[in-house]
Amino acid sequence: MMLCVALHSKAQRNLPSYDYKLLHYGFTVGFSSTNFKINHDDKYFWHNDTLASVICKPQAGFNLGVLADLHLGDHFDIRLIPSLHFAQRNIEYTFHTSPVDSIMAVAKIESTYGEIPLIFKYKSDRIKNTRFYVVGGLVYSFDFTSNKAVARKPGEAFVAVGTNNFGYQLGMGFDFYFPYFKFSPEIKLTNGINNVLVKDGSLYSNAISGLFSKILQFNFYIE
């Protein structure tokens, strides 16, 4: 009886040798909420009382990429995940035109990032066909569609951003082992650490002292 139970339990374990392989490859696709953390220029607000607020509204984006996973032991991996990330951020400026009226201008920033995240992954013990994990690491991204060299139209709400962005990533997810592949849903936060704002002397850039990327991603991995 005990032998039958043991054989049944073993049969339920998918990809039993998967975690002993040195290298794994796969691909990822995901969706994101893209945003900017804005540092306001307090001196500018003090001298321009018609400008009431500057905020960034999160916008939906998506990403896709490939991955290479280096197995370091039972609980640790290093992951390299070159990806393309398509994002948009809308910065909204509210101006007072009178004590009771206001108008809004929106600067739309569209970006296509080439990202190279280097991620460390810590995994829990495997329970049958499931593992929980946490990830953390650094990411470099290059904006192929940076608008810093684009000419601004007269009167247009326009904010220029640079091409290079550095940040760190933190996240968590689950590994689910299937008979022929491993599927991993993951949630991950990316925070930029360098200021990507390009000052051009306009009202829209002068009101800001710093722009820092902030991206919440929901990714799905198949390995």
> Per-residue pLDDT tens for 62-93?
999 999 999 998 899 999 999 999 999 999 98
Query: Can you list the positions of beta strands (E) in the chain?
Result: 23-40, 51-57, 59-71, 76-80, 83-96, 102-123, 130-143, 160-161, 164-177, 182-192, 197-198, 208-222
> Per-residue pLDDT tens for 87-121?
999 999 888 876 667 788 898 999 999 999 999 99
> Per-residue pLDDT tens for 205-220?
888 989 999 999 999 9
Beta-ladder partners of 65: 28, 83
Which pLDDT belongs to residue 194?
Answer: 95
pTM: 0.85
> Per-residue pLDDT tens for 175-208?
999 999 999 999 999 999 999 999 888 888 888 9
Res. 2 pLDDT band, cuts 50 70 90? very low
Comparing 41-45, 138-142, 158-162, 175-179, the range with the smallest average pLDDT is 41-45
Cβ pair 27, 64 in contact under 8 A = yes
Comparing 15-19, 111-115, 136-140, the range with the smallest average pLDDT is 15-19
Residues listed for the chain:
223
Domains of the chain: 21-222 (2.40.160.20)
Q: How far is Cα 197 from Cα 148, in angstroms, rounded to an integer?
A: 9
